[in-house]
Structure 1
Amino acid sequence: MTEQKSAPIIVFDVNETLLDITTLEPLFERLFGDPLVLREWFAQLILYSQTMTLCGRYSPFGELGVGTLRMLASIHGTTVEASDIDELKARMSTMPAHPDVIPALSALRDAGLRLVTLTNSPSAASPSPLERAGLGEFFERSFSVEAVRKFKPAPETYHLVARAMNVEMADLVLVACHLWDTAGAQAAGGFGALVTRPHNAILPVAELPTPNLIAAELTDLADQIIHRWGHLAHAPRPASS
C-alpha cells in the first residue's frame, strides 16, 4: 500500500465487536441446557451466511438467525416455539455495548477520526440496536450488506463503504473481532484491525492475511489506531478519482 496522505476512515463491525452477544445466553441455556450453544449458533449463522453468498443467494441475516436456531433445535432434539423466536429477535435488538466500546470510540472521535459501521444485519428503524446501546452518536454513517445482497467477507461489502464514502479501499480500516472479517477487508485492499475478544483468535495459516493491528481490548486497539494515523486526522483528504 502507498503511504497514507490523510487519516483513513475507521469501519466497525457491529455484532460481537461493539455489541455483546453474550446477552443471548439465557435463551440458549433455557432451550439447550447450555449457554455455550450460543457459540455454535453464531458460528453456524456465519457459516451459512457465507454459504448463501458463495451460492449467489441472499436472505436477511435475521431470517438466517431464526433458521439456524431451528436447525440447531433439530440437531439437539429440542423444540423452538414462536415465543422463543420472539425472544431471540428482542434480545438481538437490545444487545448492550461491551464495556470498552464507549471509551474507545470517544478516544477515536476526540482524535478527529471518522467512524462508520458495516454490519451483516439489515438496516433497522430508529431506534436501531446501535442507538439503543448508546452508540449512534459516534458514527457518521451505518452500512448494511443488504445493499449489495452479499455477506462479509465478500469484497463487494467493503467496496460498498469505499464507494459511499468516496474513498479508496486503502483509506479504510476495518475493526472487528472476527479474523474472517479483517482478512476480507485486507484482501479487498483495506487495513484490518483485530480485537481478540473471548472465543476469537488468530488463525495461523500462511496465506491468510495477518491483521495490521491486534489488541485484546478495544481501547488498546484505538490507541494503536490513533498512534498510527491520528496525526493525519486533520490533513486534507485527496479527491478520489
Structure 2
Amino acid sequence: MAVQKPTPIIVFDVNETLLDITTLEPLFERVFGDRALLREWFANLILYSQTMTLCGRYTPFGKLAAGTLRMLASVHQVALAASDIDDLQARMGNMPAHPDVLPALNGLRDAGFRLVTLSNSASGASPSALERAGLATFFERSFSVETVKKFKPAAQTYQMVSRELNVELADLLVVACHFWDTAGAQAAGCLGALLTRPYNAPLLIDEMPLPDLMAPELGDLAEQIIQRWGGPA
C-alpha cells in the first residue's frame, strides 16, 4: 500500500499573491505620468530587498519601499514630495484582495487545510493589511521576515515558519505568484505552488526546479491542492 504523504500546511505570500498591488497605480500615474512604472518600482523593491539580505543588512520593507520610490524618482528626474511617500504607505496598507482570493481560501479552509502567511512586510499595529482586506480570519498565524531580518527567498525565512509551527520544511507548501519565492522555498526543502498572475511566470531553465503545482488563478490552484491532498484525514 502506498504511503500517504502528510497534508501540508499552506504558507501564503501576501503582496500581489493575495493583495492587489495594482491599486498603487494611481500614485504612479499622478507622480510619473505612467502607471506602468509601478512594475519598475516593484521589481527594484524586490531586487534591493534581496540585495540587503545578501549584504547582511536589514530595514523594514515599508522603509525600503519608500527608498526605492525615491530612487525611481531620481532616475526619472521627477520631484517627489513627502506627501507622495505618505500616499505610497497608505496605499500599501490598504490593498484589497484579488477577486479570486476569498473563494479559494474558503474552499481550502472548508477542506480542512491549515493556512498561514509569510510576508516580507513587517508586522504593524492593528488593523493589519490582511485585516483591512477581510482576510485575517482565514490564517492561524501571520509570519513576517522581520523575525529573522532577512527577506525572502532566504532559507532562514522558511525555516523560521517550520520552526514556529513545529513541522518539517517538507510539510510546508508555499503559495506565491513570484517564481523567486517558490524556487527559494523549494531550495529550502518546502513544496512550492506558483500562481501565474499577470507579470509572473516560471523561469524555464534546467538549473531551476519547476513548482510542484502551478495555475493562473487561485481557485484553480486551490482545486489542485485539494485534489492532491484532500485535506487532513
Q: Into which bin does the TM-score normalised by the smaller protein fall?
A: over 0.9
Pairing 1:81-230 to 2, within 5 Å after superposition: 81-230=81-230
Q: Does the residue aligned with 1:192 lie in a helix, a strand or coil? A: strand
Unpaired stretches in structure 1, ≥5 consecutive residues = 235-241
Alignment correspondent of 1:28: 28
Rounded to whole Å, the distance in 2 between the matches of 1:57 and 1:126 is: 27
**What residue number does 1:12 align with?**
12
Alignment of 1:51 onto 2:51: yes
CA drift at 1:6: 2.4
Query: 1:120-163 CA distances to partner (integer Å, 9 max, x unpaired)?
Result: 00002111000000000100000000000000000000001000
Q: Which residue of structure 2 aligns with residue 239 of structure 1? A: none
Secondary structure (helix, strand or coil) at the match of 1:104 reads helix
Look up the equivalent residue of 1:155 and give its one-letter code: A
Moved more, 135-144 or 198-207: 198-207
For 1:230 and 1:168, the matched residues in 2 are separated by: 20
Aligned partner of residue 185 in structure 1, secondary structure: helix
Partners of 2:130 and 2:156 in 1: how far apart?
A: 23
Instruction: Specify every segment of 5 or more residues in structure 2 that has no aligned partner in the other structure, as ranges.
Output: none
**2:210 partner letter:** T
| Deviation, structure 1 residue 203 | 1.1
Determine the C-alpha separation between the residues in 1 that align with 2:79 and 2:65.
16
Q: Could you tell me how far 1:4 is from its partner in structure 2?
A: 5.0
CA distance in 2, matches of 1:228, 1:188: 22
User: Aligned equivalents of 1:172 and 1:9: distance in 2?
Assistant: 5
Query: Structure 1 residue runs of 4+, over 2 Å off?
Result: 3-6
SS at match of 1:10: strand
Question: Structure 1 vs Structure 2: percent identity of aligned residues?
Answer: 72
Return the letter of the residue paired with 1:20.
D
What CA deviation, in whole Å up to 9, does each residue of 1:102-128 have, x standing for no partner?
A: 000000000000000000000021110
- SS state at 1:175 partner: strand
- Give the aligned CA root-mean-square deviation in angstroms: 1.1
Partners of 2:35 and 2:4 in 1: CA distance:
44
Q: TM-score, normalised by structure 1?
A: 0.95
CA shift digits 1:59-83 (9 cap, x unpaired): 1100100000000000000011010
- Corresponding position of 1:237: none
Normalised to the residue count of structure 2, the TM-score between the two structures is: 0.98
Q: Give the whole-Å Cα distance in 2 for the aligned partners of 1:174 and 1:64.
A: 24
Query: What amino acid is aligned across from residue 47 of structure 2 in structure 1?
Result: L
Q: SS of the counterpart of 2:230?
A: helix
Distance across 1 between alignment mates of 2:8 and 2:32: 44
The count of aligned residue pairs is 232
Residue 42 of structure 1 corresponds to: 42
